[in-house]
Every structure is written in structure tokens, then in C-alpha cells.
Chains A and B, each alone.
Chain A
Amino acid sequence: RKEVEQDPGPFNVPEGATVAFNCTYSNSASQSFFWYRQDCRKEPKLLMSVYSSGNEDGRFTAQLNRASQYISLLIRDSKLSDSATYLCVVTHSGGYQKVTFGIGTKLQVIP
């Protein structure tokens, strides 16, 4: 089983749609969880951290289920500018020592 698993997509959605991405991780000792965004041929940029209680930032909502080792990202009211690859990121061994990225899920928002 991959350490961090994501559906690579692509997800093609119309503007204004709601879209959800999922991610599973295999290491139960994982400590910190994040969603990053990566535009084509650019560096990853932090979108949001993921907390056990769930957290929201504008149109973006992240959820963590430790029992199922599952993380989700919900994007509401999709914009054209949301088109990117969304990377699920997990850290372990003390939080910041080893970082594992998922393959990323590609989102294309269509006019």
C-alpha cells in the first residue's frame, strides 16, 4: 500500500461546482496533515493544514479521520483559478522530519 494515496484524476468540473478530493495514508503514526496546491511546473504552496476537528478557510474545507486514516478536501463554488494539482501531504517521525507527498489530484475547472 502506498504511504499516501490519492486519485490522480483529472477531475473536470464546471465553474461553481463543489468538488471533493480524498486521500488515505498508511502510517498510523503520522502526525501532521496538509493540503498543498501545485500549479503546472511550479513549486507546491500550502493551501491549508488539516486538523482533527476539521477546518475551513473560505471555500475550502478540510477533514481528518484518524481512525480511517483518511483526509479530505472540499472546494465549494469552484473558480477557474482553482485549476491546479492538489497534493495531500503527511509528516511523521516527530512532525517535521520526514514528509510524504501524494501523487496529487488534478483539478480542471471549466467555464
Chain B
Amino acid sequence: EPEVTQTPSHQVTQMGQEVILRCVPISNHLYFYWYRQILGQKVEFLVSFYNNEISEKSEIFDDQFSVERPDGSNFTLKIRSTKLEDSAMYFCASIEDRSNNEQFFGPGTRLTVL
């Protein structure tokens, strides 16, 4: 069964460092998403991406964040200068198309900022 994969599973970084979280969505999917979940809190929408551009972003997704689909398979989330409050689980998700409701989530990357 096709699945969304994410690497690394756990990333530890120092405050102020840049991190890149990687996702490989399901190959025939067209819509891509990043979410974060701070421990004990709700899943929060960060950004949606379609046709090589951002289609929607939340208030959380400020200038420190960027997304890219550098090739036909990877979808990345970059945090330029990490802060302590960026520590969270980051989930990538994808949807095949608008007629198919199900978002397939990756297993997540746990980001710890020290």
C-alpha cells in the first residue's frame, strides 16, 4: 500500500539553526500539506501546496518557514532560524485530488529545539 514517508523521524537542533524536514508524498497525489502538533496540543495547519505553489497558509507559517518541491518526489519544510517553541511533531500529508477526501499522513518528524 502506498504511503507518505518522512525523514528524519527525530531531529534535534540548537536554537537559531536551520532545519529541513523532508517528505515523500504518495506518487500520484497532487495536494500537499504540512502540519505541526506541539506535545499535548491539537494538530495545527501550516500550509497547503498545489501545482508548485502555496495555496493557503496559516498565521503560524511566517517568514521563518518555507516549503519547496525541489523535484518530482520530495516536499520539504524549511525553518530558517529555529526557536524553542518550534519543538513539535511535524506531519506531512497528501491528497490525490479534490474528489478524494482522504488525507494520507506521514509518520511525522519530531523536532526538538534546544
Point out residues on A near B: beta carbons under 8 Å.
32, 34, 38, 41-46, 49, 87, 93, 95-104
Task: Please give me the residue from chain A that is nearest to B106 by CB atom.
Answer: A43
- Which of B95, B102, B107 is the one whose CB lies under 8 Å from A43? B107
Contact call B42/A103, Cβ cutoff below 8 A: yes
Contact call B56/A97, Cβ cutoff below 8 A: yes
B103 to chain A, nearest CB (A): 7
- List residues of chain A with CB within 8 A of the CB of B44: 101
Contact call A96/B95, Cβ cutoff below 8 A: yes
Contact call A98/B107, Cβ cutoff below 8 A: no
Contact with A along B13-54 (1 / 0, CB 8 A): 000000000000000000101010000011111001000000
- List residues of chain A with CB within 8 A of the CB of B42: 87, 101-104
Interface size class of B (residues with CB under 8 A): 20 to 34
- List residues of chain A with CB within 8 A of the CB of B58: 98
Contact call B101/A44, Cβ cutoff below 8 A: no
A93–B55 alpha-carbon span in the complex (Å): 10
- Which of B48, B95, B101 is the one whose CB lies under 8 Å from A98? B48
A87–B35 alpha-carbon span in the complex (Å): 14
Would you mind naming 8 contact pairs between A and B with Cβ atoms under 8 Å apart? A42-B107, A43-B108, A44-B91, A44-B103, A46-B101, A98-B45, A99-B45, A104-B42
- Which of A45, A93, A96 is the one whose CB lies under 8 Å from B98? A96
13 additional A-B pairs beyond A98-B58, A99-B35, A101-B42, beta carbons within 8 Å, are: A34-B101, A38-B43, A42-B107, A42-B108, A43-B91, A43-B107, A43-B108, A46-B102, A87-B43, A96-B48, A96-B95, A96-B98, A98-B45
6 smallest CB-CB distances across A and B, nearest first, come from A43-B105, A97-B56, A101-B43, A103-B42, A98-B56, A46-B102
